[in-house]
Amino acid sequence: MTEMENREPLLTVKGLKQYFKVSSTYTVHAVENVSFQIYPGETYGLVGESGSGKSTIGRSIIRLYDPTAGEIMFDGMKIGGKISRADSQKLRTQMQMIFQDPMASLNPRKKVRDIVGEGLDIHHMYSSSEEREEKIANILQKVGLAPEHASRYPHQFSGGQRQRVGIARALIVNPKLIIADECISALDVSIQAQVVNLMKDIQQETGTAYLFIAHDLSMVKYISDRIGVLHLGHLLETGTTAEIFEHPVHPYTKSLLSAIPEPNPIVEKQRIAESYDYKTSGIDYNKGTDHLVSGTHYVKCTDEEFQRWI
């Protein structure tokens, strides 16, 4: 990973806090002091159970929220908080999002041509209608659909095909970063693998980076270069995929790993799912700091916990 460390990160999230004041007496701490980096062309897998703050982090990065505290840098530009109109315009092509539910995120009354072509229209990325049509046909082909699909409506597709439309829509403006928020969670397992493979192929071809958000580690392993484990708004552990899978340190990471079913039935029979309950764990996330385990592998815990776990 030294090669990576020598490069400038594409995205840096530093000490991000995102709080929501829901009433005069109650504030939700959705994201607490989260820091990570994504390098150009790599995939960062962000994993955590429902409610752990994954979507909030994604939304903060695409500037739907003003960070409560912390900094977000993209391609050398500070993007948390106020930015110029020109920078905001630039960001709208360079960062794209793919959502969990393509049915809900694709306009049912629009043909695929116009759903996929919307980014081209907004950013004036063609000089003739032929060029627009050609770009749409090319991108549909790239995601494994046919140019004829451009004339169909979202409901005429299967779930997996609809997600391909969602990917095409994100890709067409040539982004440097795609945030994929549980984009395969709603699909059948066999289709999940197809979509993940497609995303990998596209990355090879285009060099785009992914923030791949998921609630379990099974698919994340196949697509991620590095992984971050999120729980209750805290990033508990981060490292390369090998570091996380081969030497998990935090008990929560271990419990997530033990929950992955084994393809080998003999090994699966012996698999013991480790339970983890924050309330009874004796761990206080607010007291922990980042400890370097090895290489790029960090775990957030107290000194005492670090000595005990390592």
Q: Name every residue whose Cβ is closer than 8 Å to that of residue 226 and which is 6 or more positions away in sequence.
A: 42, 43, 44, 45, 238, 239, 240, 241, 296
Q: Provide the mask over 241-280, with x wherever binding to ligand ADP is found by CB under 6 A and - wherever it is not.
A: ----------------------------------------
CB of 19 to ligand ADP, least distance (A): 9
Count H helices and E strands in the chain, helices first. Answer: 14, 12
Q: Provide the mask over 55-94, with x wherever binding to ligand ADP is found by CB under 6 A and - wherever it is not.
A: xx--------------------------------------
Residue (of 226, 84, 198, 76) closest to 142 by Cα position: 198
The CA angle 178-182-184, to the nearest 5 degrees, is 95
55 binds Mg ion (CB under 5 A): yes
**Of 100 and 163, CB closest to ligand ADP:** 100
**Of 50 and 129, CB closest to ligand ADP:** 50
53 binds ligand ADP (CB under 6 A): yes
Q: Which stretch binds ligand ADP (CB under 6 A): 43-51, 74-82, 117-125, 160-168?
A: 43-51
Q: Which runs of consecutive H residues, i.e. helices, occur in the chain?
A: 2-6, 54-61, 85-94, 102-105, 112-122, 129-142, 159-171, 189-206, 220-223, 241-246, 251-258, 265-270, 278-281, 303-309
CB of 83 to ligand ADP, least distance (A): 21
Class of residue 126 by CB neighbours under 10 A (exposed 0-12, middle 13-18, buried 19+): middle
228 binds ligand ADP (CB under 6 A): no
Q: Which stretch binds ligand ADP (CB under 6 A): 51-59, 157-165, 250-258, 289-297?
A: 51-59
102 binds ligand ADP (CB under 6 A): no
Q: Which stretch binds ligand ADP (CB under 6 A): 6-14, 54-62, 122-130, 242-250?
A: 54-62
Q: Which residues pair with 31 in a beta bridge?
A: 18
Contact residues for ligand ADP (CB under 6 A)? 20, 22, 28, 30, 48, 50-56
